[in-house]
Amino acid sequence: MDQPSAQDTAASPAAAIETRGLTKRYRGGQLAVSSLDLRVPRGSVFGFLGPNGSGKTTTIRMLMGLIEASSGGARVLGEPMPRAARTVLPKVGALIEGPALYGFLSGRDNLARFDAADPTADPRSRARRIDAALDRVGLTAAAGKKARAYSLGMKQRLGLASALLQPRELLILDEPTNGLDPQGMREIRTLVRELAEDGTTVFLSSHLLDEIEQVCTHAAVMAQGRLITQGTVAELVAASRGRLAVTTPDPAEAVRILKEHGVTDLVVQDERITGELPSVEAGPPEEPPQGAEGPLDLAELNAALVHGGVRVRSFGTERASLEDVFVSLTGEGFDVAG
Ligand SMILES: Nc1ncnc2c1ncn2[C@@H]1O[C@H](COP(=O)(O)OP(=O)(O)OP(=O)(O)O)[C@@H](O)[C@H]1O
């Protein structure tokens, strides 16, 4: 990355991660990450969302200095990576592609081994720090059990404990709930929230939209190595209007009127009708449908139904999800099978 300007320097203390034009082309020619400009505010729980193969792990590897960028750069906790790896990495706890555990060692001994391999860890405080980390992830009672007897969720929590042996300013978690059952997922999500409440910035990747909505304050959406959007989860969802949903005992007549007013993709299920509202940005159609004037107003649409003799039980828009945002921005479904 170029030398930061005075303006950048003023802005950077707030950013836990900042990338500029970060690009990775693998040797085979595969462009895995393309000109990524990411900004992760300090104190956020930042969801890095994208289908499999969209470049999340490659980005995380570059942030951690595990692989070199082809071009562009990254700052982590205000320092350039990988140049400042030695000063930055002790402040970053990372869980990338599952923890490497020795099955024949207990959970506690795994942590001891891990800590002993960390040149920045003070052996005198080791036992105390291990106890605190086990307690943090709720593994105190199981600390003496061999790791091979742990469930996947417990293994993942032990991995998190290893990232928490030292105080961390930033946690980078690559798909932390991957492969877990619903209970295990809930445990990890709760833990992530608790860690964030303590002030740690958490950057987590996921291909699960609802996970990001449940846990994160901010998100970035990736597709095919490119950043599609980033911002607060509330902003991202607000930017996408949800589908119209109407409940009525007169669905046939309601469908006719909704169609006339430009509502598309109508789906009728018994007394419930949903549909896509015409986009406001597109402006009024050149020849407005009969009865419609300019951009569609929800109150007008409701009045039109009632005037048409449709008995309306409920009327409104469904809350948009991140999936709607993704689909509206890319025109593609969020296919996690990738
Ligand atoms: N070492 C490598 N050599 C060549 N291509 C690679 C390598 N690692 C990843 N890729 C390719 O780069 C693209 C991005 O992969 P990456 O693993 O970063 O995506 P991801 O979003 O983390 O997906 P996943 O959740 O499946 O790991 C994919 O097309 C992948 O096949």
Per residue in 37-70, pLDDT tens? 999 999 999 999 888 888 999 999 999 999 999 9
**Residue bearing the CA closest to ligand 1, atom 13:** 32
Residue 18 CA, ligand 1 centroid: distance in Å = 21
Q: What are phi and psi of 74, to 5 degrees?
A: -140, 140
Helical H segments across 117-204, by residue range: 126-136, 152-163, 182-197
Whether the CB of 58 sits within 6 Å of ligand 1 = yes
Atom of ligand 1 nearest to the CA of 61: 18
Task: Write out the residue limits of the CATH 3.30.70 domain(s) in the chain.
Answer: 244-319
CATH 3.30.310 fits 244-319, yes or no: no
Whether the CB of 26 sits within 6 Å of ligand 1 = yes
**Mean pLDDT for the stretch of residues 194-218:** 88
**Mean pLDDT for the stretch of residues 133-138:** 91
pLDDT digits (tens, 9 = 90+) for 279-314: 654 444 444 444 444 456 888 899 999 999 999 999
For the chain, state the CA radius of gyration.
25
Task: Write out the residue limits of the CATH 3.40.50.300 domain(s) in the chain.
Answer: 6-238
Percent of the chain at pLDDT exceeding 70: 83
Its ipTM equals 0.95
Give dist(CA 151, CA 181) in Å, integer: 10
pLDDT digits (tens, 9 = 90+) for 250-283: 999 999 999 999 998 899 999 999 998 876 544 4
**Residue bearing the CA closest to ligand 1, atom 10:** 32
Compute the mean pLDDT over every residue in the chain, rounded to the nearest whole number.
85
Q: Read off the amino acid at residue 161.
A: A
CA-based torsion, 24, 30, 34, 36: positive or negative: negative
**Residue bearing the CA closest to ligand 1, atom 12:** 32
pLDDT digits (tens, 9 = 90+) for 311-332: 999 998 876 666 666 776 666 6
DSSP 267-324: EEETTEEEEEPPPSTT-S-SSPPTT--SSPPHHHHHHHHHHTT---SEEEEPPP-HHH
CATH 3.40.50.300 fits 6-238, yes or no: yes
Which pLDDT value is given to residue 248?
Answer: 96
Which pLDDT value is given to residue 119?
Answer: 87
Which pLDDT value is given to residue 285?
Answer: 43
SS3 content of the chain, % helix, strand, coil (to 5): 35, 25, 40
- Mutational pocket test of ligand 1: of 33, 56, 70, the residue with most ligand atoms within 8 Å of the beta carbon: 56
Cα 273–chain centre separation: 31
